[in-house]
Chain A
């Protein structure tokens, strides 16, 4: 992969056919309405959503104590947008992948989870039930993540 770091590829089962960009999978629509994240014809926006570049603090994502798995999407401009899984807090409405962009039809090049350990990116994958991106789209993630400074990636065992 482009960045030379640790992309993890989920199983291909149930993924959408490869496409340059993805819409939310149609089978999620009813659940999104039931969970209150899609209403009045649009998705809410995760209040914690931000460009990952805005989280970089010296050589860390956030700070040295950041240990979190965060949903991410690669938007149509190639930006990596991340946000907390529970962007509205413990008892607020859930904030799944589409809420990282929000709006009527949030499209992405890629979606998954970025695993941050000790303030460093340990890995990222294609685990998104809303977009079910094809594993071929990991190239889009590799391309976007490779633009980040190497110093924000966690050292790997044996290197």
Chain B
């Protein structure tokens, strides 16, 4: 029987990217499972379930950072999403960069720029000094999440 997107998602994200046992050299089981998923289902159907996983399972900054690491590792950062500003803002809302910059600053910025470039919302050739944390659209998005879900996460 064909595995569901939910089954794949549980397998792909219920793990710790930084564990030594996660996808060791020549045993990249999770990466291969993500390819399998992308072959079996359309990204347009996968993304809402991954986003739902983020919102429902990742309730600490460490879990959100882990989600982002996995999202990048599975090469989802190169895929188009319908709500780029909202998605990126949520990540920054959940992980305070004043506290987690060393751990996640460049990771989040890399993902944000990739997503926004694919969405044609940022052009790094025209604006090589772009920074998501100075982008009013992102800052307003973070403020919206705070208003909706509370100040501190």
Q: Do A and B bind each other?
A: yes
Q: Which residues of A contact B (CB under 8 A)?
A: 10, 14, 28, 31, 35, 59, 64-65, 67-69, 84-86, 89-90, 94, 96-97, 113, 115, 117-118, 122, 127-130, 132, 155, 157-158
Smallest CB separation, B67 vs chain A (Å): 12
- Is B49 part of the binding interface, using a Cβ–Cβ cutoff of 8 Å? no
Q: Which residues of B contact A (CB under 8 A)?
A: 17-18, 20, 22-25, 28, 31, 35, 38, 69, 72-73, 75, 97, 101, 105-107, 109-110, 113-114, 124-129, 131
19 A-B pairs with CB atoms under 8 Å apart are: A14-B126, A67-B69, A67-B72, A67-B107, A68-B106, A68-B107, A69-B110, A69-B114, A85-B110, A90-B97, A96-B129, A117-B72, A118-B73, A122-B75, A127-B124, A129-B124, A129-B125, A129-B127, A130-B128
Contact of A86 among B23, B25, B109 (CB under 8 A): B109
Say whether A94 contacts B129, CB under 8 Å: yes
Contact of B110 among A10, A28, A67 (CB under 8 A): A67
In the A-B complex, the 5 residue pairs with the smallest Cβ-Cβ separation, listed nearest first, are: A129-B128, A69-B110, A129-B125, A90-B101, A157-B35
How many angstroms from the CA of A89 to the CA of B22 in the assembled complex?
A: 29
How many angstroms from the CA of A132 to the CA of B126 in the assembled complex?
A: 9
How many angstroms from the CA of A68 to the CA of B72 in the assembled complex?
A: 9
Given contacts A68-B110, A127-B124, contact A117 B73 (CB under 8 A): yes
Smallest CB separation, A17 vs chain B (Å): 15
How many angstroms from the CA of A59 to the CA of B23 in the assembled complex?
A: 13
How many angstroms from the CA of A153 to the CA of B61 in the assembled complex?
A: 30
How many angstroms from the CA of A84 to the CA of B106 in the assembled complex?
A: 8
Q: Is the interface of A mostly helix, strand, loop or mixed?
A: loop
Inter-chain residue pair count (beta carbon < 8 A): 70
Say whether B75 contacts A118, CB under 8 Å: no
Smallest CB separation, B150 vs chain A (Å): 24
Contact of A14 among B69, B73, B125 (CB under 8 A): B125
* CB closest chain-A residue, reference B127: A129
Q: Which of A35, A97, A118, A155 has the most CB of B within 10 A?
A: A118
Given contacts A65-B18, A129-B126, contact A90 B107 (CB under 8 A): no
Contact of A65 among B69, B114, B125, B128 (CB under 8 A): B69
How many angstroms from the CA of A97 to the CA of B124 in the assembled complex?
A: 12
Smallest CB separation, B65 vs chain A (Å): 10
* CB closest chain-B residue, reference A58: B25
User: Across the interface, which residues of A come within 8 angstroms of B114, CB to CB?
Assistant: 69, 115
Given contacts A97-B128, A129-B125, A129-B127, contact A85 B109 (CB under 8 A): yes
* CB closest chain-B residue, reference A35: B129
